Amino acid sequence: MAGRGADAGTPALTMTTPRRLLSLSTLYPNAARPRFGTFVAHSLEALAAQPEWEVTVINPIGLPPVIAGEYRALAKAAVDGESESLAVHRPRFTLIPRVGGRFNPRMIERAVLPLARKLHAERPFDMVDAQFFYPDGPAAAAIARDLKLPLAIKARGADIHYWGGKPYARAMMVEAAQYASRVLAVSQALSDDMAAMGMEREKIAIHHTGLDRDRFRPLQNNGLRRVLGERLSIPMTPHEPIIATVGALIPRKGQDLVLRALCELPATRLLLVGTGPEEDGLRALAEKLRLADRVHFLGSVDHDLLPLILSASNAMVLPSASEGLANAWVEALACGTPIVIADVGGARELVRGAAAGLIVARDPDAIAEGVRTILDHPPQPAETAQVVAQFGWSQHAEALAQLYDGIVEGSVRG
């Protein structure tokens, strides 16, 4: 594009046409589930903020043939949207709750492909990606093949560990990975699990999660617990031990083990952040163990409140049975709060010293001992935050842009 100056000797200014990404993600926030997949949204928004990339998101919404109950709100949320940096399309696909997992990739493909063809015809894309390996990955592979575009698929943990245990999903994921130019993993440990499934190791790139460093940072101060207590309507004293557990209330996360460990930590208060199908059972367990006065179910909390909860806690405890590299680990560490976690996924890639916390067995006694160790020998918040100094959305986006540039350039050369 020519600059305004027409004087002789004035160099002409040129603008490179941005590359265009079509990103498929069932894991994405919407009006009915505003906290669902926020890390995916942040990742794509950060990439879209890079001058050399434009991003269009297709967020398929699964709805059953008969819409009732919780699906009514989800149906109302199946509308297109737009932010400052990207457009989001939300076509519906037919979902059979609880038993339709093997059909979801095909149903997503059928719902998305006409839209993808239309958008591609209007303004061609340079590549396709999937932000979750199942069901997104196989559907994205079919769409990329139809549009004759290169493909990247990202693995985050549960997609590999849960769906990879189902033969039909495993076969579809491996086939999608064979078509993809690159597959991404959030940790080295997860990349090993992907290779063990049969994915080509040379295609796997490590791409860590990102983090809003302006929001997640150490906020410890003398008035923090008073302010937090007022906002949560929980009486907190300045010096009582407090632990937080952040994650969906599902069996894999191990909140029941934290409750049982709390029996051995008599003066400690537990802040449980998250929602999920296990909530009633966990509340009943807290009552049975006579912990109800020390266990606080906070539900899904605002991202502006979460840093206060983490900063006010002595430790963030999450004994998951499987993870890739949990966002909750990174967010807690960024707030200066050490973590007590199981030896799963990328745990050893973060917990390399006392400043980060401890890796313990998935056992109430071991969890309680880990918490006691941190209470007796608390690290300095600044040292803990330094453990994840390299995690930030700008670094995340720059690394992703570099990976995707290589995919597009390799496709052009090919």
Q: Would you list the domain boundaries of the chain?
A: 19-210+393-413, 224-386
> 371, 110 in Cβ contact below 8 A?
no
Return the CATH class of domain 224-386: alpha beta
> 259, 291 in Cβ contact below 8 A?
yes
- Torsion sign, CA atoms 347, 348, 350, 352: positive
Of 149, 174, 178, 177, the C-alpha closest to 164 is: 174
Residue 300: alpha-carbon gap to chain centroid: 15
Q: Is the pLDDT of residue 271 over 50?
A: yes
**Rounded distance, CA 56 to CA 85, Å?**
9
> 116, 139 in Cβ contact below 8 A?
no
Question: Is-above-0.85 flag for pTM?
Answer: yes
- pLDDT tens profile 219-260: 978 889 999 999 999 988 888 999 999 999 999 999 999 999
pLDDT at 13: 42
The mean of the pLDDT values for the chain is: 93
- pLDDT tens profile 306-348: 999 999 999 999 999 999 999 999 999 999 999 999 999 999 9
**Strand pairing category for 86-89 and 81-82:** antiparallel
> 136, 26 in Cβ contact below 8 A?
yes
User: Region 25-29: what's the mean pLDDT?
Assistant: 95
Q: Is the pLDDT of residue 35 over 70?
A: yes
User: Region 142-146: what's the mean pLDDT?
Assistant: 98
Element of type H or E holding 76: helix 70-77
| The residue type at 392 | G
**Rounded distance, CA 83 to CA 255, Å?**
35
| The residue type at 314 | N
Q: Which residues contact 393 (CB under 8 A, 6 or more apart)?
A: 42, 43, 46, 210, 211, 212, 213
**Cβ neighbours around 187 below 10 Å, total:** 26
User: Region 82-98: what's the mean pLDDT?
Assistant: 90
User: Region 196-220: what's the mean pLDDT?
Assistant: 94
pLDDT at 70: 86
Q: Give the fold, CATH level 3, of 19-210+393-413.
A: Rossmann fold (3.40.50)
- pLDDT tens profile 74-87: 999 999 988 778 99
Confidence of residue 414 (pLDDT cuts 50, 70, 90): low
pLDDT at 16: 75
| The residue type at 224 | L
Of 412, 400, 409, the C-alpha closest to 131 is: 400
Of 34, 105, 38, the C-alpha closest to 73 is: 34
User: Could you tell me the CA-to-CA distances from 30 to 33, 51, 105 in Å, in that order?
Assistant: 5, 26, 20
